Chain A
């Protein structure tokens, strides 16, 4: 297996290097055969890496401890299902995973890019293969997962117990895939610059792959938050840890990109800006990989850390210089074809959206790198932690939600204050009424909460209002039943309404974040069996503790009886595992989750008497909504990505000029 793995990685490297050279030379000299062979090398490289992946999986499944990576990340006792996690539990395996994901997406994206893209497709393929070549060189020379041990040990070391959680099956691969997925739209942008064609050919593919990367990163971040909430056991879900930030920043830049690219798609504007944005997103993604793979910043995510920091720092530097160098070189030919007709328009709203998103990304980056700058220049050790990010990014996020409510109500091209007033008056009135009611009912006194509630409500009201009115209009016009009319409405403008679904998901997230940030209650208590205590509205009784001893760990479960106002609400079981060989305590909180609040109990430790235990009890309002938001993010993205048909045209009476344009565009 080891030989097969190394051989296939070597083969993939040769193919990627060839593919890159062939694509560039072929596109430059207009030699079609060379271009085609470059693209086929891309497909073959993906195939070869697929075999390498299978080889490592086989080695894990057959407990081939002669391979060092397998011996270090699994053992005989490990359930087979964890092979999936063990695969990327360490540096070498995760790099193989990243290379395979990159290669797979490179192949699929090139196969999907239409033939008419010509030189753009060739140059994009060249860029993709160049980046893949870099990863494969690192994989083969510095981090080969197929390195063999001189003597195979009888048993392996085993998997890190923190990783044995369902969330770990999806969260790391999604983030890794998301980070490398940015490579595709980035390569398309680079391909556009290299080919020197000033048209909008790259826009459709870049939007699709930008959305894919965005959804992968977003879902991965949310799953990470969920994992932290359910297993890390401090009662929170987001800590502004450098590695979280490193995935969050490219996600922000991508969010800006998938909005701004719509302006280019619709209006042929922001051409320079969109390429700059995808460059920023990619640079931030490369920075994320650097931080994650042995960066200089301490983080809880040190599982996969390595000494490869300098390699990825070099990559980051080269990628930044090359992408922005090329960008400024081609600046002159990237002008917009349309002028901005009015300052008050959807286009301007998108620009403000971009400003805020990049503002948050910058503040986050600044907070991550400032401690390094401080140490290097003044020698002062400074920590920039959670309170900084909350205070600085909080207001910008609120402003973004306000914009999310107002922006979609603004028309494209040009608006007058009168039309804006007309569009806003009803949603704002409804929002004001709801916010006032909520403020009185729940005695909300915190300004940020009021603004957040109002802004989120405005988003929800304007989206739902548009849907209700559109559905009724369709029902009247076609006689279709309401659900069908609604489905037809959504289908009629998928990018827009997919986006709306995501906006609603963001509102749910905002509710969860606001509730848990401003209204969470925490208590640290010691209880003897039989004791009870209160937290918020809940009474918690420590009924019993059950101990089970395993070869590698001691598991304890605290049985807790919950009641509220004297009414019993059932029992909860909080879990605590001690792993002597890792010198590690792992906890699994007992969580009673409802849309109103979560009762969250962490079983921190047991005293030597076995009867007294330390607990952390939290009541986290509205966190439930955050996890519900996840599926809606995915649903909205799928709707937005669903290939559009031209049928929607049937509903519009076209003036001659537009009709002619449509006929041309559709052909």
Chain B
């Protein structure tokens, strides 16, 4: 997409691609380790005891804030895939071992990268994600105030000749209907 705009961006794109492939190159390794660890444990170990209630609540919250790296936009809470299962198990084990939710998240970020967090960090560059919408809302609000002022200023002007045939003439009548029907 950025390729059209000159040499600089092209390098950036290539650079990104390279990083991406690198990321994908080592990712299966980590996953394989996790999977092997899971599969080689004794069969009965797959049947997990239910977590104590407060840990279960923490675990479910964590499932919803961690992305499944190979299942296209699903969190590990939503995905039925083996990787998601292994990651859920990792979360449970971390919590059972007494780690705080933050520590569990940190160790997942170490193994899978920052992209595993469903919610972008609020520090550095990703802070822009969080700032965008409020800034847009404030700018939009300012534009709205200006527009209302502009429309108000026109109040004195006589605009009758340009009045529309379809609705303009009906406006007083429609207002009456409004008043008759409700409180408006």
Contacts and interface: CB of A to CB of B under 8 A. Distances in A.
B167 A267 contact: yes
A337 B107 CA distance: 62
Interface string A328-356: 00000001111111110010100110010
Contact of B16 (A239, A340, A375, A665): A375
A548 interface: no
B141 interface: yes
A526 B180 contact: no
Interface in B119-141: 119-120, 125-126, 128-130, 132-133, 136-137, 140-141
Interface stretch (B34-42, B45-53, B95-103): B45-53
Contacts of A493: 177-178, 181
A380 interface: yes
A180 to B, nearest CB: 24
Nearest to B43: A608
Contacts of A233: 80
B154 A339 contact: yes
A661 B173 CA distance: 8
Contacts of A375: 16, 20
A268 B161 CA distance: 13
Interface string A627-667: 00000000000000000000011011011011111101100
Interface string A402-430: 00000011111100000000010000000
B54 interface: no
A438 interface: no
A470 B181 contact: yes
Given A298-B72, A340-B155, A381-B115, A607 B46 contact: yes
B72 A382 contact: no
Contacts of B71: 300
A313 B119 CA distance: 27
B78 A239 contact: yes
Interface string B7-43: 0010011011001100100000000000000000001
Residue among A298, A381, A409, A469 with the highest chain B CB neighbour number at 10 A: A381
A242 B181 contact: no
A393 to B, nearest CB: 8
Of the four ranges (under 10, 10 to 19, 20 to 34, 35 or more), the interface on chain A belongs to 35 or more
A396 interface: yes
Contacts of A72: none
Contact of A239 (B73, B119, B129): B73
Contacts of A366: 129, 132-133, 136
Interface in B144-161: 144, 147-148, 151-157, 159
Contact of A340 (B2, B152, B171): B152
Given A200-B167, A348-B148, A384 B1 contact: no
A654 B176 CA distance: 8
Interface stretch (A75-83, A86-94, A123-131, A357-365): A357-365
A525 B50 contact: yes
Nearest to A232: B78
Contact of B171 (A203, A266, A300, A383): A266
Given A297-B73, A340-B155, A661-B170, A413 B119 contact: no
A635 B100 CA distance: 49
Contacts of A655: 172
B114 A380 contact: yes
A479 interface: no
B56 interface: yes
A388 interface: yes
A308 to B, nearest CB: 15
Contacts of A348: 148
B126 A376 contact: no
Contacts of A378: 125
B140 A355 contact: yes
A355 B13 contact: no
Contacts of B174: 266
A160 to B, nearest CB: 15
B128 to A, nearest CB: 7
Contacts of B67: 383, 385
Contact of B129 (A367, A396, A409, A649): A367
B172 A268 contact: no
A379 B170 contact: no
A486 B136 CA distance: 43
Interface in A448-481: 466, 469-470
B155 A370 contact: no
Contact of B170 (A469, A612, A651, A665): A665
Given A366-B133, A492-B177, A381 B166 contact: no
A654 B169 CA distance: 13
A555 to B, nearest CB: 16
Given A234-B77, A358-B140, A376 B1 contact: yes
Contact of B64 (A269, A377, A387, A524): A387
Interface string B54-88: 00100110001101000111110111100000001
A382 B120 contact: yes
Contact of B166 (A199, A410, A423): A199
A249 B1 CA distance: 22
B177 A648 contact: yes
A387 B148 contact: no
B93 interface: no
A601 interface: no
A466 B184 CA distance: 10
Nearest to B176: A652
Given A375-B20, A654-B173, A383 B117 contact: yes
A522 interface: yes
A241 B73 contact: yes
23 contacts: A265-B167, A299-B72, A336-B151, A340-B148, A346-B184, A376-B12, A381-B23, A382-B115, A382-B126, A384-B119, A385-B73, A387-B65, A412-B178, A492-B177, A493-B177, A524-B88, A607-B43, A652-B173, A654-B173, A661-B169, A661-B171, A661-B172, A662-B169
Interface of B: 1-2, 9, 12-13, 15-16, 19-20, 23, 43, 46-51, 56, 59-60, 64-65, 67, 71-75, 77-80, 88, 113-120, 125-126, 128-130, 132-133, 136-137, 140-141, 144, 147-148, 151-157, 159, 162-184
Given A382-B115, A383-B67, 18 more contacts: A268-B164, A313-B1, A337-B159, A339-B153, A359-B133, A359-B136, A363-B133, A370-B132, A380-B125, A384-B120, A384-B129, A388-B129, A412-B184, A524-B50, A526-B48, A533-B50, A607-B46, A661-B170
Interface of A: 198-201, 203-204, 232-234, 236, 239, 241-242, 264-269, 297-300, 302, 313, 335-343, 346, 348, 351-352, 355, 358-359, 362-363, 366-367, 370, 374-388, 391-392, 396, 408-413, 423, 466, 469-470, 489, 492-493, 496, 522-526, 533, 585, 587, 604, 607-608, 612, 648-649, 651-652, 654-655, 657-662, 664-665
The 10 closest A-B pairs by CB, nearest first: A385-B118, A661-B169, A340-B151, A363-B133, A381-B115, A339-B154, A387-B119, A234-B78, A298-B72, A339-B155
